[in-house]
Amino acid sequence: MNVEEIPVMPRGTKPETARSFVPDPEHAPDEDLREAIWELGREGEWIVQPVPEPYYEARTNYGRIKKIPFQKTWHHKSCGQCGHIPGYSTSIFWLNRFLGFDYFDPRDQTSCTAWNYYASATSNQVAQAAVAMRNFSAAYETGYYPLIHCGTSFGHYKEVRHELVHNHDLRRQVRDIITKLGRPFVMPEELVHYSEWMYAIRDELKSRLVYDLSHLTATVHPACHYYKLQSGDAIYDPEIYGGQRTAAVTAVVQSLGAKVADYSTWYDCCGFGFRHILVQRDFTRSFATLRKIEVMREEANPDVVLTHDTGCVTSLDKSQFAAQAHGRNVGVPVMSESQFAALAVGAHPFRVAQLHWHSTDYRPLLTKMGIDVDKAWAEFQEDLAKIERGSMPYLTWEAVL
Partner 1 sequence: MLSSLYPEVPLEEKQRLFDLVKADPRFEDYLYGCYECGICVAACPSARFYDFSPRKIAQALAREDIELVYEQMNDDIWNCSQCFSCVRCPRKNNPGGLITIMREVAVNNGLKTTKEALAGYTRIIYKIMTTGTQVSPDMLQEDAFPDWGPQVKEVATHLDLWRRALPPETLHTTGLSWQVEERTMLELYTIWKLTGVLDMIRELDEGLHDIMEEVMDDALEDQGFAID
Ranges within 368-387 binding partner 1 (CB under 8 A): 380, 383-384, 387
268 is a contact residue toward partner 1 (CB under 8 A): yes
Among 28, 82, 99, 376, the residue binding partner 1 under the rule CB under 8 A is 82
How many Å apart are CA 306 and CA 334, to the nearest integer? 6
Question: Can residue 226 be called a binding residue for partner 1 (CB under 8 A)?
Answer: no
Task: Write down the least CB distance from residue 378 to partner 1, Å.
Answer: 14
Judge contact between 308 and 340, C-beta under 8 A.
Answer: no
Contact residue for partner 1 among 13, 73, 90, 254 (CB under 8 A)? 90
Site for partner 1 in 310-369 (CB under 8 A): 318-319, 321-322, 351-352, 354, 356-359
Query: Which one of 55, 94, 140, 340 is in contact with partner 1 (CB under 8 A)?
Result: 94
Specify whether the CB–CB gap between 239 and 251 falls below 8 A. Answer: yes
- Based on the shown chain and the rule CB under 8 A, indicate whether residue 306 belongs to the binding site for partner 1: no
Among 21, 283, 301, 377, binds partner 1 (CB under 8 A): 283
State the burial class of residue 19 (Cβ atoms within 10 Å of its Cβ: 0-12, 13-18, 19+): exposed
Q: What phi and psi, each to the nearest 5 degrees, are found at residue 90?
A: -60, -40
Subset of residues 104 to 133 that bind partner 1, contact rule: CB under 8 A: 105-111, 113, 115-127, 130-131
Judged by beta carbon, residue 124 or residue 367, the one nearer partner 1 is 124
Asked if residues 187 and 48 have their Cβ atoms less than 8 Å apart, the reply is: yes
Interface with partner 1, residue 167, by CB under 8 A? yes
User: Within 13 Å and on the Cβ side, how many CA atoms surround 377?
Assistant: 10
User: Which of 134, 308 has the CB closer to partner 1?
Assistant: 134
- CB atoms closer than 10 angstroms to residue 314: 24
Residue 393 makes contact with partner 1 by CB under 8 A: yes
- Least distance (Å) between residue 53 CB and partner 1: 26
Task: Please tell me the distance from the alpha carbon of residue 244 to that of residue 265, in angstroms, as a whole number.
Answer: 15
| Residue 162 burial (C-beta neighbours within 10 Å; 0-12, 13-18, 19+) | middle
CB of 197 to partner 1, least distance (A): 17
Piece of 196-204, 211-219, 261-269, 295-303 that binds partner 1 (CB under 8 A): 261-269
CB 380 within 8 A of CB 351: yes
- Check: CB of residue 48 under 8 Å from CB of residue 66: no
